């Protein structure tokens, strides 16, 4: 190869030919957004079913839904697992339906709108998960003391 051949090759070389088409990139981003939106609901559904159906029968530090008041006794532990299982499963199913409906609107939207909608939906999913954790924690705290004994109900407190 001579210098003239190399110059000819470099003149004919177009670096943009190596890059994918911009629409291909946008379609990849939209597909990644769709997959990301399904990640949180599927994980919630899976964990909820795990807590409800096959969580360990006794408190431990490796598996199951752990919170301070829920680890005091086997009764508190089972209550916590069932409550978290029901709430997380219902939230996962509800979010899946919402994401399916949201995904149905994506073809009519501009790509940047799709990405912003996906980001806002992911933020909302995160807030819902935090709210669910708070609901489980407070509910268990209201039903059990720190040693895992059931608290008195309002009617028991005022009865005698």
pLDDT tens for 88-130 read: 999 999 999 999 999 899 888 888 898 899 999 999 999 999 9
Here the contacts of 101-105 (C-beta below 8 Å, separation 24 or greater) are 102/37, 103/34, 103/37
pTM of the shown model: 0.78
Q: Model confidence over 45-86: pLDDT tens digits?
A: 999 999 999 988 888 888 889 988 889 899 999 999 999 999
User: Which residues fall within 8 angstroms of residue 132, CB to CB, at 6 or more apart?
Assistant: 87, 88, 91
pLDDT score recorded for residue 86: 96
**Residue 93's closest CA among 127, 50, 125, 45?**
45
- DSSP code for 61: S
- The radius of gyration computed from the CA coordinates of the chain, to the nearest angstrom, equals 26
Neighbours of 114 (CB within 10 A): 21
Q: Model confidence over 129-142: pLDDT tens digits?
A: 999 999 999 999 99
């Amino acid at each position: 190869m001579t210098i003239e051949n190399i110059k000819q090759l470099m003149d004919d070389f177009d670096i943009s030919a190596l890059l994918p088409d911009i629409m291909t990139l946008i379609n990849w981003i939209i597909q990644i957004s769709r997959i990301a939106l399904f990640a949180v609901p599927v994980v919630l559904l899976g964990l909820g079913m795990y807590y409800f159906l096959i969580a360990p029968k006794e408190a431990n530090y490796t598996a199951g839904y752990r919170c301070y008041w829920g680890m005091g006794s086997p009764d508190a532990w089972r209550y916590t697992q069932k409550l978290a299982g029901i709430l997380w499963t219902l939230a996962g199913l509800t979010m899946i339906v919402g994401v399916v409906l949201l995904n149905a609107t994506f073809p009519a939207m501009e790509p940047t709108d799709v990405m912003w909608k996906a980001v806002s939906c992911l933020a909302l999913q995160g807030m819902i998960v935090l709210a669910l954790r708070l609901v489980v924690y407070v509910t268990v705290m209201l039903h059990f003391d720190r040693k895992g004994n059931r608290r008195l109900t309002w009617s028991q407190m005022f009865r005698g």
